[in-house]
Amino acid sequence: MSEHIDIAVNLIGSALEKNIDDVIQRAADQGVSPLIVIGSSLSESEKAIQCCQQHLNQLYCTAGVHPHHASEWHSQSGETLKQLASESQVVAVGECGLDYNRDFSPRPMQRQAFTEQLALAVELKMPVLMHERDAHADFLAIVKEYRSELTGALLHCFTGDRKSMESYLELDMHLGITGWVCDERRGLELAELVIDIPDNRILIETDSPYLLPRSMRPKPKSSKNEPQYLPYISRYIAKLRGQDAEQFSAQTYQNSIDFFGLKI
């Protein structure tokens, strides 16, 4: 059985939280372990750490403030995040970035929270897991300021166009690909672009419980996505790239270990 690491799981504050043990076990049964749990706010990051402490070696997490929660960022947030990120289970700063699609937080506050989190990642010598939606120009400009000092930069759930992909790859960023690529309606452009992501810059993720792959047959009874479905996404991407499925899974598994500095 191939080994996989799901680098973005919304385990806390989502429909998966009620059955964490079952979600972890179903994933492990399919060779998906460990899981990287996303921290989207300071409180959620704290809960993610506590969850990881209860599932050592099965879960790791990020700690950060998503742009949707940027309005919660205040003068002491950086210090709080610094303390959270010092926990051994935390493997990246994030999820941070910009989201101009929903604008749940004012854009100036999004930019401030993003900038301060990148600066913190530099200070702590930690990689950063980022989010960008409909904010390419501002996102790119901010990342450029810090990229040379960051130990690693990952844009998770990449769904952009070729121009944005090329600009991110020029900054030596990693790109996380989800089951969006399996969507025959929305994922056609991504299916073409994924072919051109270098082997050492691609990571795979479910972003569960969101983005259940539409092409799965038979369709899961539940509409919730889970880490257990990551092998399907991996095989689908490998086929698009014309690569052997086992070799592709081994490559992305090692990429994940290297990026997050996991001791497996």
SS3 category, 53: helix
156 known member of a binding site: yes
Beta bridge partners of 93: 63, 128
Non-local (6+) Cβ contacts of 124 within 8 A are 82, 85, 86, 93
Residue keyed to tokens 């499925």: 245
68 is in an annotated binding site: no
200, 3 contact by CB (below 8 A): no
Instruction: Please indicate if the annotation marks 66 as binding a ligand.
Output: no
Residue 251's Cα: distance from chain center in Å? 17
Strand runs (DSSP E) across the chain, as ranges? 4-9, 32-37, 59-63, 90-99, 128-133, 153-155, 174-177, 202-204
Closest residue by Cα to residue 167 from 146, 134, 188, 144 = 144
Angle between helices 136-146 and 162-170 (to 10 degrees): 10
Closest to 12 measured CA to CA, from 48, 61, 64 = 48
* Cα separation values, 110 from 37, 70, 105, 170, 225, Å: 22, 5, 6, 24, 28
Q: Is 95 annotated as a binding residue?
A: yes
Beta bridge partners of 62: 92
- For the record, the structure tokens of 26 come out as 């179903």
Query: What does the alpha-carbon distance between residue 49 and residue 89 come to, in Å, rounded to a whole number?
Result: 6
Residues annotated as binding site for a divalent metal cation? 95, 131, 156, 207
Residues annotated as binding site? 95, 131, 156, 207
